[in-house]
């Protein structure tokens, strides 16, 4: 009888799972982002992106230079402003590169740190079978070597040593990778310090004229331009008031400045007013703020007496336009020619004087440029305007320039011809009113800043430099010692071999042994041969004295 067995076919293997394309894309993108190559590319891009910030004037540094650039390049300015050219370090594209670099460095360094810690905890590897094939090799003849003594010699020279079965393995130079990691972690610290300072820092720019009537206190309304970090509120600004009492400026014969120093009186909350001095390279350090001196100029003092005999005085800072401190500005008198009976003001009888101030006027016309920055022959070229200044329209305008829209609309008209005036001189206009050039006061431009990330950046920069030195001067190398049975031929003396020489012949005539040494540099190290010879010599002396 036959038995028929039903053979059941094995179940078919399930089809391979299709990889998730989204996860694969994210994984590959993360690997690319956290590679050292990408970090270097992003670092290069960050340096390139910072170039416009060093070439173009920045609003958070000097708003006056930005306005001067706008006047000089009216067609190019709107394009660059739309691209963030005058706020480079706060622009979205610069921030994107910054954040990507930060993430790339963290993702790249953390695995390397883990591998480095693992390598530090791992014992030096065992000796290879053929030490004579290593770049450095030597044989020493003598009695049986003491591995413990050899290890002691190496440990005195700060080698990591392990003894296995009579063999001595040692390595040195992990300082190189340690320095590399320290450098990159310090670079992350610099990036974090800059970001922290932008979050919790603030700044304000201010033009300060000398005199007690022009002192300012630290609040947002007192600044021409301000910037607060996302984590800073106006109430967080430290309270203090500052008055410019004197300014000392010295110039070389070529007109180049040689010395700037401002004398001021500062009144901080909770303390008495005190006299302070600061200069370009030595800012004024206050509690919660630093005051930096940026520039210097002159503010003509102009007294206008209207046709009714009422006098008003204006201290008008004239912004400098060149290295010889030629100044351009406007002195406006909106509250003049008021009817004494009704007290009404006719807006069409307002006055303004547009002019050029020359600290040292040339001997002959044209009087458009100063020939020296110090006040050796001061002169003021004025053009008078009468009409509606447009101040009541509620449209923001600069106090340093005349509203040309009013001039073009015929609402503000020039009165007479331009007039060159010296200090103390006066000018009588067509309606009997007079304008007098009283003199000048000096002014300075200030940048008041608080950056809590400065100390982080400073410490990180020092650590980064130290890590760079460790990375440059650290050299990875390994060395091994083992005892080989045999002795050199009688009368041949100690057998030595270094480099590519052939090993000395050995025999077994007296039962002594050979000490074989081999060395391997893990990085490019031209001085390893000399160091290897010194180590071998030190081991030989130690064995001889033991």
DSSP H/E element including 187: helix 175-200
How far apart CA 296 and CA 302 sit, in angstroms, is 19
Same structural domain for residues 438 and 302?
Answer: yes
- Quick one: pLDDT at residue 542? 84
How far apart CA 385 and CA 388 sit, in angstroms, is 9
Same structural domain for residues 157 and 37?
Answer: no
Does any domain span residue 312? yes
Residues 310-341 have pLDDT tens digits of: 999 999 999 999 999 999 999 999 989 887 77
- Quick one: pLDDT at residue 509? 43
Same structural domain for residues 436 and 303?
Answer: yes
**Cβ-count burial of 378 within 10 angstroms (0-12 exposed, 13-18 middle, 19+ buried)?**
buried
Same structural domain for residues 321 and 452?
Answer: no
**Cβ-count burial of 507 within 10 angstroms (0-12 exposed, 13-18 middle, 19+ buried)?**
exposed
Contact status, residue 422 vs residue 378, Cβ threshold 8 Å: yes
Same structural domain for residues 303 and 433?
Answer: yes
Same structural domain for residues 98 and 52?
Answer: yes
Does any domain span residue 465? no
Q: Identify the CA nearest to 472 among candidates 482, 484, 462, 464.
A: 464
Of 410, 430, 460, the residue at which a domain comes to its end is: 460
How far apart CA 491 and CA 469 sit, in angstroms, is 49
How far apart CA 296 and CA 397 sit, in angstroms, is 23
Contact status, residue 286 vs residue 270, Cβ threshold 8 Å: no
- List the domain range (segments joined by +) for residue 307: 298-442
Residues 441-471 have pLDDT tens digits of: 999 999 999 999 999 999 999 999 999 999 8
Does any domain span residue 4? no
Of 460, 491, 518, the residue at which a domain comes to its end is: 460
Same structural domain for residues 85 and 147?
Answer: no
Same structural domain for residues 315 and 429?
Answer: yes
How far apart CA 171 and CA 168 sit, in angstroms, is 10
| Peptide bond connecting 379 to the previous residue in cis, omega within 30 degrees of 0 | no
Does any domain span residue 2? no
Q: Identify the CA nearest to 100 among candidates 13, 32, 12.
A: 32
Same structural domain for residues 342 and 429?
Answer: yes
| CA distances, 428 to each of 11, 348, 355, 415, 503 (Å) | 113, 19, 16, 11, 109
Same structural domain for residues 401 and 334?
Answer: yes
Of 84, 116, 148, the residue at which a domain comes to its end is: 116
- Rounded to whole angstroms, the maximal C-alpha distance in the chain is 145
Q: DSSP per residue over 356-379, as a string?
A: EEESB--SSS--SS-S-SS-SB-E
How far apart CA 108 and CA 101 sit, in angstroms, is 10
Positions of the chain with pLDDT lower than 70, given as ranges = 1-19, 142-144, 270, 394, 396, 485-512, 546
């Amino acid at each position: 009888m036959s038995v028929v067995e039903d053979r059941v076919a094995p179940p078919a293997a399930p089809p391979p799972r299709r990889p998730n394309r989204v996860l694969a894309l994210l994984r590959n993108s993360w690997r690319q982002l956290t590679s050292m190559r990408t970090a270097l590319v992003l670092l290069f891009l960050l340096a390139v992106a910072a170039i416009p910030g060093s070439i173009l004037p920045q609003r958070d540094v000097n708003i006056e230079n930005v306005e001067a650039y706008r006047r000089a390049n009216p067609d190019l300015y709107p394009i660059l402003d739309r691209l963030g050219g005058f706020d480079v370090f706060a622009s979205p594209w610069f921030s994107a590169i910054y954040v990507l670099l930060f993430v790339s460095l963290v993702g790249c360094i953390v695995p390397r740190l883990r591998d480095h810690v693992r390598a530090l905890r791992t014992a030096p590897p065992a000796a290879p079978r053929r030490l004579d094939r290593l770049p450095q090799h030597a044989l020493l003849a003598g009695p049986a070597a003491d591995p413990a003594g050899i290890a002691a010699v190496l440990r005195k020279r700060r080698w990591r040593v392990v003894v296995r079965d009579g063999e001595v393995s040692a390595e040195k130079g992990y300082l190189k990778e340690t320095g590399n990691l320290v450098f990159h972690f310090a670079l992350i610290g610099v990036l974090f310090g800059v970001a922290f300072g932008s979050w919790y820092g603030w700044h304000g720019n201010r033009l300060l004229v000398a005199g007690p009537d022009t002192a300012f206190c630290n609040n947002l309304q007192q600044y021409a331009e301000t910037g607060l970090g996302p984590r800073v509120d106006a109430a967080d600004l430290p309270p203090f008031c500052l008055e410019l009492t004197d300014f000392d400026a010295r110039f070389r014969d070529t007109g180049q400045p040689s010395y700037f120093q401002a004398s001021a009186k500062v009144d901080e909350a909770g303390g008495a007013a005190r006299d302070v001095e600061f200069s370009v390279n030595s800012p004024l350090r206050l509690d919660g703020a630093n005051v930096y001196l940026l520039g210097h100029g002159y503010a003509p003092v102009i007294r206008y007496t209207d046709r009714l005999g009422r006098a008003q005085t204006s201290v008008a800072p004239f912004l400098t336009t060149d290295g010889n401190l030629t100044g351009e500005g406007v002195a406006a008198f909106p509250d003049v020619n008021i009817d004494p009976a009704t007290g009404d003001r006719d807006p069409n009888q307002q006055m303004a004087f547009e002019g050029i101030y020359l600290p040292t006027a040339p001997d002959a016309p044209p009087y458009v440029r100063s020939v020296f920055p110090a006040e050796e022959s001061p002169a003021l070229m004025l053009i008078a305007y009468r009409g509606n200044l447009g101040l009541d329209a509620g449209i923001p305008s600069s106090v340093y320039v005349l509203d040309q829209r009013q001039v073009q609309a015929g609402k503000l008209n020039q009165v007479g011809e331009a007039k060159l005036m010296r200090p103390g001189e006066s000018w009588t206009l067509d309606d009997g009113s007079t304008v007098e050039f009283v003199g000048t006061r000096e002014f300075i431009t200030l940048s008041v800043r608080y950056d809590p990330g400065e100390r982080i950046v400073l410490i990180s920069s020092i650590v980064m430099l130290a890590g760079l030195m460790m990375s440059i001067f650290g050299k990875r190398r390994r060395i091994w010692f083992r005892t080989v049975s045999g002795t050199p031929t009688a009368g041949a003396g100690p057998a030595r071999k270094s480099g590519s020489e052939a090993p000395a012949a050995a025999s077994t005539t007296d039962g002594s042994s050979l000490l074989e040494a081999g060395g391997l540099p893990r990085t490019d190290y031209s001085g390893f041969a000399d160091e290897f010879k010194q180590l071998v010599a030190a081991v030989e002396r130690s064995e001889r004295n033991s």
